[in-house]
Amino acid sequence: MRLIKRLLLIILTGIFIYSGAHIVMYLYDGYKSNTLHARLKQQYTIGLQAEHAAVPIGNETESKAQAMQQRGVDKFKSLLELNSDTVGWISIAGTKIDYPVVKYSDNDYYLNHDIERKRSLRGAIFMDYRNEDITKDAHTVIYGHHMKDGSMFGELSNYKNEAYYNERDIIEFDGLEQSTTWKIFSVYTYTPQHQFFQFEFNNEQEYSEYLQKIIAESSYDTGVNVSTQDQILTLVTCTYEVSDARFIVHAKRID
């Protein structure tokens, strides 16, 4: 009997130590992530201020395009020096979503590496490796972890509430060459076996059918009209209604 009690005590002690270590690691990872984000946000803000203070662009189309591109590179200079995988910055007013976006040669690396390429439970906000240019691709997909403290894409699941959507229906993506604005038109939960992401479309009819499919999936009617002339942006994070589920937010470009 004493032996059994000792074994139980040892097991419970081991579980306690393991759980405690896990919590400490999670909290420390959160502290590092928040500190890093604050620094990156400051650098990005300084870049924005410098861009706004720049000399006005001339009227010649070619020189204007070159000047805008150079301003974008200058604005992201600190982030690009930190990580050349940087492709832009995503934000949604009224949420914690306000992060740099990176892109790698696969969709696995940034699941557990931050923008400094260091191991992290939170990973980074990253664009699908199949995308080339958010300003030209018909469909761009961006991923982020659903963290319990609301960081990364942790607040995306709040879009299950229509009232929340009504106050936060615009996504801003500031790219290296151009800033874009997107309006959310569909939100829903899916499981990986039902995934139907499509990045390329053979013709307008195929694209139209795809758009109608993802609009029909929405948890509520947003009233936003979408056509084959629109580009779309999709945000993806985890959700926990069923095993291995994902929460999806679709938006169309409006600027």
**Burial (CB count <10 Å: 0-12, 13-18, 19+), residue 171:** buried
With a threshold of 0.85, does the pTM exceed it?
Answer: no
Amino acid at 57: I
Query: Across-strand partners of 186?
Result: 250
Top-ranked range on mean pLDDT: pick from 37-41, 65-69, 131-135, 189-193: 131-135
Answer yes or no: is pLDDT of 195 > 90.
no
Given CA atoms 208, 210, 212, 214 in this order, what sign does their dihedral have?
negative
- In degrees and rounded to multiples of 5, residue 3 shows phi and psi of -65, -40
Q: What is the largest CA-CA distance in the chain?
A: 89
Q: What is the structure's pLDDT at 24?
A: 47
Pick from 199, 95, 75, 30: nearest CA to 87: 75
Residue in the block written with tokens 């662009």: 57
- Supply 147's token pair: 């963290």
Domain ranges of the chain: 2-253
Q: What is d(CA 188, CA 30) in angstroms, rounded to the nearest whole number?
A: 28
Residue in the block written with tokens 């306000």: 98
From residue 245, alpha-carbon distances to 39, 58, 65, 135, 236 in Å are 32, 50, 42, 29, 10
- In degrees and rounded to multiples of 5, residue 132 shows phi and psi of -115, -50
Query: Across-strand partners of 190?
Result: 246
Average pLDDT (117-142) is: 96
Q: Indicate the range of 50-64, 134-148, 225-239 predicted with least confidence.
A: 50-64
Instruction: Please tell me the CATH code under which domain 2-253 is placed.
Output: 2.40.260.10
From residue 249, alpha-carbon distances to 55, 187, 198 in Å are 37, 5, 15
pLDDT tens digits, one per residue of 8-67 = 555 555 454 544 444 445 444 555 667 777 787 777 777 676 665 554 545 555 554 454
- In degrees and rounded to multiples of 5, residue 12 shows phi and psi of -65, -35
